[in-house]
Amino acid sequence: MNSIHPFPSPVDTPTGTRASRGLGIVVFLGMVFLTLLGLFFTDEDVVQGSTVRLMYIHVPTAWVAYLAFIVTAVTSAMYMWGKQHSLTFDRIAGASAEVGVIFMGLCLVTGSLWGRITWGTYWQWDPRLTTTAFLFVTYVGYLAVRDLGGSHHQRAKRSGVVALLAVLEIPLVHFSVVLWRSLHQEASVLQPNGDVTMDGLMLFSLLFGVAVFTLLFSWMVLHRQRVLALADAIEDGGLETALQERRNEAN
Amino acid sequence: MDHVSFIVGGYVVTFIAVGAYVLRMFRQARKINGAMAESDKPWR
Amino acid sequence: MTQHSTSTMSVARAIATKDLRIEWRSKVLVNQVLPFAGIVMVLFAFALDNDGILQRVAPGLVWLAVLFSSLIIVQRTFAIESADNALDAIKVAGVSPAGVFLGKSVALVVQLLLFECVLVLLSLVLYQVQLSWGGAVLLVTVSFLANTGIAAMGALYGGLGAAAKGRETLLPLLLLPAVAPVLIAATRATESAFGVSGATLGEGWPWAALLAVFGALFGFGGTLAFGVLTEE
């Protein structure tokens, strides 16, 4: 959506290619259309009323967030067990986790806005919500591990291990929260779910939103991953320059 | 439409967050770009 | 192969006894960290200020105090090493990282057990909870199983923080979300052991099983991952 923005030489970013620009334009148009669909073209839901309109962005953000963490786990594994130990996989993992954290945050925000209208509270200790919050915190930790410093391969190994551990952690968190809630059931508020029967246009809008957000995700990760590659290269270059200066001093 | 502020707010927050992230990313890219040779960018 | 596995176990034993001996001699744990845990228990009582509530939430408070203390204990376990760059020396000597991980974990399990004994005794006195013999058996089992999980995660993420020097502040952010299932399961099991919140003794044992799964999973995962995490 930001392939066109009002800044000097807007379209010419160093990480852009013709293909990525094309994708950016498609994403931008898709987002505009999704907004029109969500806010104006679709009808209100019989059960949920107007709150269903929040679903058209909430569900896609949730989908992208979980997708992002799957991508992070898979690319981390590809780095760890690949023969080349290619840093590209590590950078895709990092980029994907970063974008995932953004969308997980948005998922929590839009979800709690929806909850405030529907349940009357911003937060419920529902297993899905709680697990999502834990996932968010876990990946904030993952990003902090990436910032620890050291060589690129050190970063890749450490964060790869953390990403794979998170894959073990999250189901356990979810399982224990489910058990926890099943013992302390509170029948305080009526909880209509998001999963209700939908008419054709509403279902289309939901699926369209998921598709557009998936494209947005790939566009963001594509660029982010290239920016990370630039940053890595600069760091390497900077190190070489510093070493060269040292050598010159010594001679 | 009921709850307009909540619903529109949800859309606005999403677009602003994504937009801000992308802007920051591009700004960083432009900053580092000056010190880079074109040959170091395999996607070019 | 047999040679290697025995050396891993002997490394583990050496590291564990070394760590425990250091703690035994320095008394930092007993003189400083244990009183901290006690203060936390008293502060909980000040904050909640109601005997009925205190009794009901006592299991959760015990385990929160354990988790907070575990952060300090884990940091200390690795501070001993990084003080003289001992971790580097161990690495240079080619000692099996799995052995180091297991040794550190065992030492942590023992230290945490000491804390749990004191904290449970404190909760009996300060929060007026009751403990039957059956409850005590459950509680000891749960403490041991919960400790394996906390120790495994603590040794892993503590080692990660120690390998990246000066970034120990990262430990709580990584460790606390990871051990959340332990907090949930151990608290529920302890409710059964104390017989509060209407929990019966039998309800506690499935939670102990969950703790066993957690401990086994991360004990195994940590043994594999520790070398990679602390690698230079």
pLDDT digits (tens, 9 = 90+) for A38-59: 888 888 777 777 788 888 999 9
Q: Which residues on chain C are in Cβ contact (under 8 Å) with A150? A: 164, 232
Distance CA A220, CA A226 (A): 10
Which residue has tokens 């029948």? A187
Distance CA A89, CA C54 (A): 50
- Subunits next to A (3 or more Cβ pairs <8 Å) are B, C
Instruction: Fill in the amino acid letter for C80.
Output: I
- Subunits next to B (3 or more Cβ pairs <8 Å) are A
Distance CA C224, CA B41 (A): 36
Distance CA C36, CA A73 (A): 38
Chain C residue whose CA is closest to A136 = C177
The residue extents of the domains of chain C are: 2-230
- How much is the pLDDT for A32? 93
Helix (H), strand (E), coil (C) string for chain C: CHHHHHHHHHHHHHHHHHHHHHHHHHCHHHHHHHHHHHHHHHHHHHHHCCHHHHHHHHHHHHHHHHHHHHHHHHHHHHHHHHHCCHHHHHHHCCCCHHHHHHHHHHHHHHHHHHHHHHHHHHHHHHCCCCCCHHHHHHHHHHHHHHHHHHHHHHHHHHHHHHHCCCCCCHHHHHHHHHCHHHHHHHHHHHHHHHCCCCCCHHHHHHHHHHHHHHHHHHHHHHHHHHHHHHCC
The residue length of chain A stands at 251
- How much is the pLDDT for A218? 94
Closest partner residue to A227 (CB to CB) among B11, B15, B29 is B29
Distance CA A52, CA A38 (A): 9
Closest partner residue to C181 (CB to CB) among A138, A141, A173 is A173
Interface predicted TM-score (ipTM): 0.86
The residue extents of the domains of chain A are: 18-184+199-232
Which residue has tokens 């529920």? C188
pLDDT digits (tens, 9 = 90+) for B4-42: 888 899 999 999 999 999 999 988 888 877 666 666 666
Distance CA C19, CA C34 (A): 17
Burial of A116 (0-12, 13-18, 19+ CB in 10 A): middle
pTM: 0.85
pLDDT digits (tens, 9 = 90+) for C27-71: 888 888 899 999 999 999 889 887 788 888 999 999 999 999 999
Q: What angle do CA A88, A90, A92 make, to 5 degrees?
A: 70
- In tens digits, chain A (251 residues) has pLDDT values of 444 444 444 445 777 888 888 899 999 999 999 999 888 888 877 777 778 888 899 999 999 999 999 999 999 999 988 888 888 999 999 999 999 999 999 999 998 998 888 888 888 888 888 888 999 999 999 999 998 878 888 889 989 999 999 888 888 888 888 888 765 544 434 445 545 456 788 888 889 999 999 999 999 999 999 889 888 888 887 666 656 666 666 65
Judge: B21–A220 Cβ closer than 8 Å, yes or no: yes
- Measured from the Cβ of residue A7, the count of other Cβ atoms closer than 10 Å reads 12
